[in-house]
Amino acid sequence: MNVLVGIKRVPATAGQITLTPDGQEIDTRYLGFTVSPHEECAVEEAVRLIEKHGGSSTVLTLGPEAAIDQLREAMALGIERAMLLETDGREWDPVATAAAMVEAIEAERAAGRTYDVVMFGNESADSAGYQVGVRVADALDLPCVTGIKALEVTNGHATVRRQTESGWEVADVPLPAVLTVKEGINLPRYPSLPGRLKAKKKEIERSTPQWQDGGLEKIRLKLPVQVGHTVEILGKDGDPGVQVVELFQRLRLL
Amino acid sequence: MLSLEVLTMAGRVALDIGRPLEAVAIGSQGAGAAGILSSYGVSTLHVADDPRLAEYAPVAWAHAIAELADQVNAEIVIGTASDRGGEVMAHVGARMQVPLAANCTEIAPGDPFIVIRQRWGGSLLEEAHIKARVKLLTLAPHALTAEASPSRTDVTTRAFTPALDDRDFRVRLVPQVEADTGKISLAQARVVVGGGRGVGSAEGFASLEELADLLGGAVGCSRAVTSLGWRPHSDQVDQTGTRIAPDLYIACGISGAIQHMVGCRAAKHILAINTDPAAPIVAQADYAVIGDVQKVLTAVNAEIKRVKAGAPSRTPA
């Protein structure tokens, strides 16, 4: 079977987000970059599918040239091929992103490469549009299940489960299908050193799609207003156990 | 699921643009909603009439909504940003070939049509313009307080039969109710004791388990802990894991990355236990103990047991 995974390069934020002075971007001068958490799990799931069923795996991203780092991370985990849809760093909204990915998948098909499973993350960590996978599925006329936390493939069908507040929902879909993954479906492995070295040497297939206006335009970013509050330090002098238990009693938890 | 927050927001927006507020009900329970809708200014309730819609089939539900939106010349379609709501609205956007603004917190209709929407789980906000013939958006939970109007409207209930074919039902999601394990769920717990890397090891969570038991709460953890394999992902509190809303969140050895804070933002109070007074979690907590997690929890658990055994509380030295 053939599996395609769509990923996104996002800043690795820590304790606080800082914006650039023009409010257009997160200030990433002191930040690293990573793959969105749900997509890390999608990559792992793709590698496991191929380990179990055989076939080939491909990773696809739309982003700046630097997103090659994230493609290589995915290849270090076991993905074989990587495709970069290179942008000039401008933001692409979900409609435009999905359209470029559909175009790439159709070009693959024209070249004789078809996919049984196309995976995405449920939503990206940064812009969180919750829709690229759905739009790709719609354009390719494929069934789609979002937010899955378990996947079993047998005889050209995928049985997927997703979590709800009261338990689980189950669906059985014929392949090919688009599946968007939620973190927790697996625990991604760490890349091995040989895996990293191999990934470094691999070729990245690049193309440059045309930017389009998808109709959702980012004007500016802003940080939510922080309500000022003070912290009461307990146990500074005396037994922290006693003071914490007094707090529990004050909050009527004991 | 009926969201009163969405109804409240939709009512305000409808008033703002001078259009009637209409609602669409899909699924088996929808038709019974007219009573509630009359308190939120709804003029017409459209009930999708197709027995196949009784169970959840995202594409079919979306195509019914898209068809109705065209029929009534909807200018704006608002849904809730729940798992199902977000999924259905994404399909509506794909079907109608218009953009969707997910997780909005504010809407200012007009030209341009402005929304404020959440990024990074709400740690960052985006002001965006929606440019489309029909504006689609989902409303983030807790964006506003639901408010019924003092006067009731007469709701006209109208059935419509969307043109759906079998392909729209390729994906059906069937609920599978889990046996009640008797364990207090993370999302519902009144007290959550969360552990981070500072707990030290998987075994180190024993003291957190004990504290959670003593308080009748649940144990959670940070993403670092899940990645280390110390706890299952079902314990993970953050943007991509479980979001909690306890009366008290006790964050033990957790630094407080923004993704983690998204997961515990709805806690009424936060108590941080951390060796580092400069950790971001300490600045965002209501109470903090600066010290080693295991030492502090040993003292706390011993004191709870003393108090529960009927011993008088010791006054601090």
SS3 A24: coil
Measured between CA atoms, the residue of chain B closest to residue A178 is B171
In a domain, B183, yes or no: no
SS3 B199: helix
Distance from CA of A204 to the nearest CA of B (A): 28
C-alpha count within 13 angstroms, C-beta hemisphere, residue A208: 6
Q: What is the C-alpha to C-alpha distance for residues A92 and A100, in angstroms, rounded to an integer?
A: 10
Which H or E run includes A57? Answer: strand A56-63
B57 and B157 part of one domain: yes
B28 and B164 part of one domain: yes
Measured between CA atoms, the residue of chain A closest to residue B278 is A15
- DSSP code of residue B227: H
| Least CB–CB distance from A145: residue in B86, B171, B313 | B171
Please give the mean pLDDT across all residues of chain A. 95
- Contact list, B181 vs chain A (CB under 8 Å): none
Cis upstream peptide for A176 (omega within 30°): yes
B234 and B264 part of one domain: yes
- Highest average pLDDT, of A71-75, B46-50, B313-317, comes from A71-75
Measured between CA atoms, the residue of chain A closest to residue B298 is A241
* Site from A216, A218, A243, A252 to mutate, B interface, most B CB atoms within 10 angstroms: A216
Using DSSP bridges, classify how beta strands B113-119 and B100-108 pair: parallel, antiparallel or unpaired: antiparallel
pLDDT for res B183 = 77
Contacts of A233 (CB under 8 A, 6+ apart): B287, B288, B289, B290
Hunting for tokens 């479906």 — which residue is that? A185
B158 and B230 part of one domain: no
User: B238: domain CATH number?
Assistant: 3.40.50.1220
Selected from 3.40.50.300, 3.40.50.1860, 3.40.50.620, 3.20.20.70, the CATH number assigned to the domain covering A2-207 reads 3.40.50.620
Contacts of A51 (CB under 8 A, 6+ apart): A78
- Contact list, A162 vs chain B (CB under 8 Å): 83, 173
As a whole number, mean pLDDT of residues A70-99 equals 97
Q: How many domains does chain B divide into?
A: 2
SS3 A105: helix
Q: What share of chain A is helix, strand, coil (3-state, %, to 5)?
A: 30, 30, 40
Edge-first strand listing for the sheet containing B42-48: B21-25, B42-48, B156-160
pLDDT for res B315 = 56
B240 within 8 A of A37, measured Cβ to Cβ = yes
Q: What is the span of the domain harbouring residue B204?
A: 191-308
pLDDT for res B234 = 93
pLDDT for res B317 = 43
Measured between CA atoms, the residue of chain A closest to residue B314 is A242
Which H or E run includes B269? Answer: strand B269-274
In a domain, B302, yes or no: yes
The tens digit of pLDDT for each residue in B157-187 reads 999 999 999 999 999 999 987 776 777 889 9
B208 and B104 part of one domain: no
β-pair partners for B80 = B139
Q: Do B99 and A247 count as a contact with CB atoms less than 8 A apart?
A: no
Using DSSP bridges, classify how beta strands A144-148 and A177-181 pair: parallel, antiparallel or unpaired: parallel
Query: Lowest mean pLDDT: which of A138-142, A162-166, B261-265?
Result: A162-166
Please give the mean pLDDT across all residues of chain B. 93
Query: Lowest mean pLDDT: which of A56-70, A149-163, B28-42, B191-205?
Result: B28-42
pLDDT for res A61 = 98
As a whole number, mean pLDDT of residues A2-9 equals 98
Cis upstream peptide for A240 (omega within 30°): no
pLDDT for res B235 = 96
Residue B164 dihedral angles phi and psi, to the nearest 5°: -115, 140
- Contact list, B130 vs chain A (CB under 8 Å): 215-216
Under the banding of pLDDT at 50, 70 and 90, the label for residue B115 is very high
A13 touching B (Cβ < 8 Å): yes
User: B99: domain CATH number?
Assistant: 3.40.50.620
In a domain, B174, yes or no: no
In a domain, B177, yes or no: no
B247 and B288 part of one domain: yes
As a whole number, mean pLDDT of residues B230-234 equals 95
Q: Is the pLDDT of residue B130 over 80?
A: yes
In a domain, B184, yes or no: no
B216 and B293 part of one domain: yes
The tens digit of pLDDT for each residue in B79-91 reads 999 999 999 999 9
Q: Is the pLDDT of residue B125 over 50?
A: yes
Percent of chain B with pLDDT over 90: 87
Hunting for tokens 């389009």 — which residue is that? A212
pLDDT for res A238 = 84
A127 touching B (Cβ < 8 Å): yes
pLDDT for res B1 = 64
A129 within 8 A of A123, measured Cβ to Cβ = yes
In a domain, B277, yes or no: yes
The tens digit of pLDDT for each residue in A18-51 reads 999 999 999 999 999 999 999 999 999 999 999 9
B42 and B126 part of one domain: yes
In a domain, B225, yes or no: yes
B159 and B211 part of one domain: no
As a whole number, mean pLDDT of residues A64-73 equals 97
Using DSSP bridges, classify how beta strands B124-130 and B135-139 pair: parallel, antiparallel or unpaired: unpaired
In a domain, B203, yes or no: yes
B157 and B12 part of one domain: yes
- Contact list, B257 vs chain A (CB under 8 Å): 13-15
Paired tokens of B249: 């969140």
